[in-house]
Amino acid sequence: MADYWMEWASLLLRWLHVITAIAWIGSSFYFVWLDLSLRKAEHLPKGVHGESWSVHGGGFYHVQKYLVAPEAMPKELHWFKYESYFTWISGFSLLIVTYYWGAQVFLIDLSVADLSVQQAVGLSLGSLAVGWIIYDGLCKTPAGKDLRVLGLLVYVVVLLAAYGYSEIFSSRAALLHVGAMVATWMTGNVFFIIIPNQKKVVASLKQGKTPDPALGLQAKQRSTHNNYLTLPVLFMMLSNHYPMTFVGEDLWILVALVVLIGAIIRDYFNAGHAGANGFRVRWQWPVASVLILTLAFWAKPPSVALEASDMINDNEVQAIVTTHCTGCHAAQPTMPGFSSPPKGVILETLADVEKYKQQIYAQSIVSRAMPPGNMTQMSQEEREILGGWLEKH
Ligand code: HEC
């Protein structure tokens, strides 16, 4: 019964996570656009760096940006932070419900590392904390002053993390953890740096002092990272529903490409918003397209040598499915932790297998996503037999 309620927790948390992420990323895309759309004009009030006009929902909006701050603080000032905090909180809760509660299925792969549930959860929590300490430390070193050098260093840390995670967790959990680690940096940037710095600026203005410009520079450094990391993180979060992305060897190569592709696409929009033209906005799509194709070809699993179909008898296939699938994929699963068949996929009879043949081919033959973490130790030969049977039907 507990599993039934966990499913509800998972659904509600995912709902919340998607909503808050839309709110966070939506407002952050909006502000990046707003910032880059500012144009200088005559007769702007003192301290205004630029203005932007837009039309939406039947009205006209006229926004002006004060580079440091207006002379007098407005009575009401809107902050944007809870979107980010709740994205992290809901995401972290989802991590607990899916990967900690279901650690044996989703987090641990005994053929990768022989971990107990406590060890795996400890590694997950510890790595998220250590990841932030390393990232934050790097940003504060002198190298952090140069955004390009820092960007390169941060990129290397992400790749090392991808390599490290794939040495300890199931491949699905490994890719998700890279996303979770980077997403933790993004919310950490908002919580520990951007908002506190803005608060200090507001406080010094209220006291009639000039705010320290270093505060603004530091916030800018972090928000630039958040801007470029958004698209790669979304890819890593969604890809855990697509086994072809994570079942291959060398997860770090996939991550290397995904981060590049996401950042390049983001750069196209940044440059476009700022009014750039010519080569500055022409190179991104061709390069990103080539990289996406490279990724798709790279991730393509080697073709499997299927068992010749006339050698296979139905009983053999039924036995494979009963041993390796039905424990979870049954109307009443017997596998602890499952109260209903995952994704509604029931695999009890050969007719069921035929019905889901395309999905099974993708999940168990082309990729080794099912059984998760190869829990039931399905052999390569069994995959070839099942594949040969599916081919025939
Ligand atoms: C330990 C439990 C378990 C076992 C054993 C298992 N599965 Fe699954 N299966 C799952 C879970 C959990 C999901 C849902 C995955 C997700 O949420 O992305 C799933 C999803 C699937 C899906 C649907 C994928 C989709 O997104 O359309 C198919 C098809 C599938 N499994 C086939 C198999 C086959 C074939 C076997 C046996 C070779 C098998 N499974 C063994 C737990 C299991």
Q: Is the CB of 327 under 6 A from ligand 1?
A: yes
Q: Is the CB of 324 under 6 A from ligand 1?
A: yes
Distances, alpha carbon 10 to alpha carbons 6, 125, 181, 372, in Å: 6, 19, 20, 18
| More confident: 207 or 123 | 123
Q: pLDDT tens digit string along 45-63?
A: 888 989 999 999 999 999 9
Closest CA relative to residue 321, chosen from 367, 357, 268, 291: 357
pLDDT for residue 375 is more than 90: no
Pocket test for ligand 1, best of 343, 348, 381, 382 (most atoms within 8 A of CB): 343
Which residue, judged by its Cα, is nearest atom 32 of ligand 1? 360
Judge if the upstream peptide bond of residue 371 is cis by omega within 30 degrees of 0: yes
Name residues whose C-beta falls within 8 Å of residue 98's C-beta, 6 or more positions apart in sequence.
Answer: 10, 106
Closest CA relative to residue 270, chosen from 15, 28, 10, 4: 28
Least confident interval from 5-19, 302-316, 337-351: 302-316
Distance of CA 293 to the CA centre of its chain: 20
Q: pLDDT tens digit string along 332-354?
A: 999 988 888 998 899 999 999 99
**% residues pLDDT > 90 (the chain):** 69
Average of per-residue pLDDT across 278-287: 96
25 and 32 Cβ atoms separated by less than 8 Å: no
Which residue, judged by its Cα, is nearest atom 16 of ligand 1? 241
50 and 41 Cβ atoms separated by less than 8 Å: yes
Average of per-residue pLDDT across 156-164: 97
Q: How far is the CA of 356 from the centre of ligand 1 (A)?
A: 11
Residue 210 has a pLDDT of 84
Least confident interval from 241-250, 351-360, 379-388: 241-250
Mean pLDDT of the chain: 92
Atom of ligand 1 nearest to the CA of 376: 5
Q: Is the CB of 343 under 6 A from ligand 1?
A: yes
Distances, alpha carbon 306 to alpha carbons 157, 217, 225, in Å: 40, 59, 46
Least confident interval from 67-71, 74-78, 282-286: 67-71
Q: Is the CB of 335 under 6 A from ligand 1?
A: yes
| More confident: 284 or 249 | 284
Q: Is the CB of 266 under 6 A from ligand 1?
A: no
Which residue, judged by its Cα, is nearest atom 31 of ligand 1? 370
Closest CA relative to residue 176, chosen from 233, 114, 260: 233
Confidence band of 1 (pLDDT split at 50, 70, 90) = low
pLDDT for residue 111 is more than 90: no
Pocket test for ligand 1, best of 363, 364, 365, 377 (most atoms within 8 A of CB): 363
Q: How far apart are CA 186 and CA 236, in angstroms?
A: 14
Q: pLDDT tens digit string along 198-250?
A: 999 889 888 888 888 889 889 989 999 999 999 999 999 999 888 888 877 78
261 and 230 Cβ atoms separated by less than 8 Å: no
Q: pLDDT tens digit string along 74-94?
A: 888 899 999 999 999 999 999
Residue 167 has a pLDDT of 96
Atom of ligand 1 nearest to the CA of 353: 35
Which residue, judged by its Cα, is nearest atom 10 of ligand 1? 342
Q: Is the CB of 371 under 6 A from ligand 1?
A: yes
Q: Is the CB of 300 under 6 A from ligand 1?
A: no
Q: Is the CB of 360 under 6 A from ligand 1?
A: yes
Q: Is the CB of 359 under 6 A from ligand 1?
A: yes
| More confident: 8 or 71 | 8
Q: How far apart are CA 281 and CA 259, in angstroms?
A: 19
Closest CA relative to residue 94, chosen from 180, 190, 27: 180
Q: How far apart are CA 345 and CA 328, in angstroms?
A: 9
Q: How far is the CA of 117 from the centre of ligand 1 (A)?
A: 21
Residue 371 has a pLDDT of 93
pLDDT for residue 362 is more than 60: yes
Residue 243 has a pLDDT of 84
Average of per-residue pLDDT across 155-184: 96
Confidence band of 309 (pLDDT split at 50, 70, 90) = low
Q: Is the CB of 365 under 6 A from ligand 1?
A: no
Q: Is the CB of 105 under 6 A from ligand 1?
A: yes
